[in-house]
Structure 1
Amino acid sequence: MTVLIIGGSGSGKSEYAENLSISLGVDRRVYIATMKPWDEECRNRIIKHRKMREKKQFETVECYRSLKKLELGNRPSVVLLECMSNLVSNELFGLWEAGDAPALNKETAVEEIIKGILNLENQSEHLVIVTNEVFSDGDHYSPQTNDYRQVLGSINQLAAKRAHMVVEVVAGIPIKVKEGIN
């Protein structure tokens, strides 16, 4: 089963996704972290979150780009991908590191990320994807930000079509938008 969880910043979507993941599988839970530790504040936040996930028996795998190449081995019960918005940013703008693959154009980013979702679906019993709702605020952005929003929107739509369940989390309240056969 694939579940897409969408919500705004601070909506409670991550906590909901973790709790749902725990309820879906007990054998092996893999948390795919896509947030690149850009500075000391990010690194400290990552360490804190990693410790919290360990208590919930998640194995953390960091994957900033090229999700389609990720091999998880020993089939997990649940894979939690957190979060799509970081992955999109990393694919579109790169990681700014020596030896990093070139940033992707919009069309290629959508194709590659969808291939990555298929890869994770094929390697797990359940896939839970967390993504951000970034479309209800302003409408005047730089061309790069508009590209990012367009790619994230396309991926969210394609993931929602594939998903068996889509949940929007608003102020900590999960609202099922779709449930059933994809």
Structure 2
Amino acid sequence: MTINLVLGGARSGKSARAQRLAETYQDRRVYIATAEPLDAEMRDRIARHQADRGQGWQTVEAPLDLVGAMETLSGEDKVILVDCLTLWLSNLMHHERDVETETARLCECLQRLDQDVILVSNEVGLGLVPETPLGRRFRDAQGRLNQRMAEASDIVEFVAAGLPIRLKG
């Protein structure tokens, strides 16, 4: 089992990179979607992602219970692509879930799984300091989540301008 973390900024090409990695597994792919279609723009974005993926994907919606979704797939001969941890974190914070507890659960789950996992996450710490306390809390939580996922991962890549840079593994 290999855990691969693909990091990058908005529109950096990280999701496309993760999808290409997963597509090497032929038709044995599961896409765990963390986005919630709360408005028209997000519904359009989700539809574009689905169209880009095409055939050969099983999709599982898990805006909050990412660990539960991954555990139901344990033992299957499929690669799991989680896109993305940033939206999952945002959902957790919006629903006032304990981020540290959920992050610890995810780390434990990743250690137990017996299939390859590709995680996608935004690197949000390279920009301006957020103006609001909520924005700063989110940025800090995202940075801590990315550090924990990088530690748990065998391979870590950073994608900039569509180009992957190997950071680990």
With structure 2 as the length reference, what TM-score do the two structures score?
A: 0.89
CA distance in 2, matches of 1:140, 1:22: 36
Q: Once the two structures are superposed, what CA deviation does each residue of 1:137-180 show, in whole Å capped at 9, x if it has no partner?
A: 1114211111111111111001101110000001111000001x
Q: Which residue of 2 aligns with 1:143?
A: 133
CA distance in 1, matches of 2:130, 2:62: 31
The DSSP-based 3-state class of the residue aligned with 2:64 is coil
Q: Which residue of 1 aligns with 2:145?
A: 155
Count residues with an aligned counterpart.
166
Show the 5 A alignment for 1:107-118: 108-118=98-108
One-letter identity of the residue aligned with 2:49: H
CA distance in 2, matches of 1:137, 1:47: 28
CA distance in 2, matches of 1:48, 1:7: 19
Distance change (3 Å), C-alpha of 1:118 and 1:59: farther
Bigger drift between 134-143 and 156-165 goes to 134-143
Q: List 4+ stretches of structure 1 deviating above 3 A.
A: 120-124
**How many percent of aligned residue pairs carry the same amino acid?**
33
Q: Which residue of 1 aligns with 2:26?
A: 26
Q: Which residue of 2 aligns with 1:90?
A: 91
Q: Which runs of 5+ in 1 are unaligned?
A: 95-102
CA distance in 1, matches of 2:107, 2:59: 17
Q: Which residue of 2 aligns with 1:10?
A: 11
Q: Which runs of 5+ in 2 are unaligned?
A: none
Q: Which residue of 2 aligns with 1:67?
A: 66
Q: Which residue of 2 aligns with 1:35?
A: 35
C-alpha displacement of 1:129 = 0.5
